[in-house]
Amino acid sequence: MEKYKIQNAEELNGELILQLINRYKLKEVTRLKRLKNYYTGKHETIINRTMKDPTKPNNKIINPYATYIVDTIGGYFLGKPVNYASSEEEQMKKIQYVFDSNDEQSLNSQIGKDVSIFGVGYELHYTDENSETKMAYLDPQETFMIHDNSIQSKPLAAVRFYEVENYKTQQFILYAEVYDKDFIYSYIQEKDEFRLVDEPKQHYYKEVPVIQYLNNDETIGDFENVLKLIDAYDLSTSDQMNSLEYFADAYLVLSGIDAESEDLETMKENRVMLMGEKGTADFLMKGDIAGVKEYTERLKQDIHTFSFVPNISDESFGTSSGEALKFKLFGLESAVSVKERFFKKGLEKRLKLITKFLNTKGGSYDSNSITMSFTRNMPSNNETIANIIEKLSGILSDKTLISLLPFIEDSAYEIELREKEKEGSLYESLGK
């Protein structure tokens, strides 16, 4: 993905923004739409395939591998909520309130899916009519960032553009919102002019309130490298179906017998063939079905290998021991570790923006006081985990030990509940 860079924010004007929007639509949106189509099962290669001979079978079987790759990685990476912790309890409570009021877990899943499909995702922060901070998902097909030319490549602005149809004229009108560190600018295209609609609105975040989440350094999606393999798999499975239809419509070749058309009709009706001593009967058909199946299986294996997503439906996968399972998941874990590193940067920016907002209301919080941890979503052996916790009791803190349990989302809250139960039991015993 191309990174747009300018010298400073003063260069931004309607003409430049419109040029960048058109450039983004031409160079990036086409690619992003293609990736979204593959995720939703609209594989262009097999859908657009035609046969020179229109009488031949032309099956178009779509194998939703892109969907499988994205959903499997997403479930493994963000299937369990991100866990936050802080020694500043008051700050954590306020941030948790923001998370709950914005359905933070669903937002993470949506952005995580975009990152997996497109290689990039976006999140907007704004304040509503009640002066509460809000977080919203932005479509990567309608959003891009503008950076400066420094070594740090700092964000100067974010652009969200969209088209609205005028039902009377049946024409589309282009709108855009540009966010810099202080203001929000609204633009509209009228003929060849891209002009401001209203006066700029201040947002008080003191930095660009749009967060860009990346999948990796190359900004590519999780299945983008195996698109050609998916196309080949679709063609191969479709050709296998074509071969079956060829067989159903195959010609019967009779050799070494003399037969009139009436004799052939009789044979067909009675389902009996009378042949002489040298007579033979064979079907005339095309293709090596066994070879095609072998080729298809190889493609299937390559898709899993090069996307780093294991074939969970494989019989050996479910019967593997714990150590063997680690090796099977090594490629997936390596890819997700890279994804986690970049996703964490986005979440840190989120915490920074929320903390800045809280400080505008009189707080004096530091976003660095909050730590986060990711837990992989995979089948767990609770009995084994319980034994580990028992052995580590007295060595690690209760908070750390409780956080090891996969069914506990907030270890601090669980400890608080435990203490309240103890107090309740004590009061009951004194009452008696």
Asked if the model's pLDDT at residue 199 lies above 80, the reply is yes
Residue 249, class by beta-carbon neighbours within 10 Å (0-12 exposed, 13-18 middle, 19+ buried)? exposed
Rg from Cα positions in the chain? 31
Q: State how far the Cα of 420 lies from the Cα of 232, in Å rounded to an integer.
A: 61
The beta-carbon contacts of 345-348 under 8 Å, at least 24 apart in sequence, are: 345/213, 345/214, 346/111, 346/121, 346/123, 346/211, 346/212, 346/213, 346/214, 347/82, 347/372
Q: Dihedral of CA 279/281/285/289: which sign?
A: negative
Instruction: Examine the pLDDT at 80 and tell me if it is beyond 70.
Output: yes
Q: How far apart are CA 89 and CA 188, in angstroms?
A: 45
Whether the per-residue pLDDT at 427 is higher than 70: the answer is no
What b/e sequence results for 71-102 when a residue is b if at least 16 CB atoms lie within 10 Å of its CB, and e otherwise? bbbbebbbebbbbbbbeeeebbebbeebbeeb
Average pLDDT over residues 239-258: 70
Helical segments of 284-410, H only: 289-307, 315-318, 322-328, 330-360, 382-392, 398-403
pLDDT in tens, 285-327: 555 566 778 889 999 999 999 999 998 877 666 555 556 677 7
β-bridge partners, 84: 372
* 272 confidence band (pLDDT: 50, 70, 90): low
Average pLDDT of the residues of the chain: 87
Distance CA(417)–CA(407), nearest Å, equals 15
From residue 179, give the alpha-carbon distance in Å to each of 120, 171, 183, 211, 366: 18, 27, 6, 11, 24
pTM value is 0.81
Confidence of residue 386 (pLDDT cuts 50, 70, 90): confident
Q: What is the pLDDT of residue 393?
A: 84
Within 147-272, residue ranges assigned H as helices are 227-248, 261-270
% of the chain with per-residue pLDDT over 70: 85
Contact of 224 with 32, CB cutoff 8 Å = no
Say whether 230 sits in a helix, a strand or coil.
helix
What's the pLDDT at 431? 55
Most confident of 181-185, 316-320, 403-407, 410-414: 181-185
Residue-level pLDDT at 432:
47
CB 46, CB 233: distance < 8 Å: no
Average pLDDT value for residue range 387-407: 79
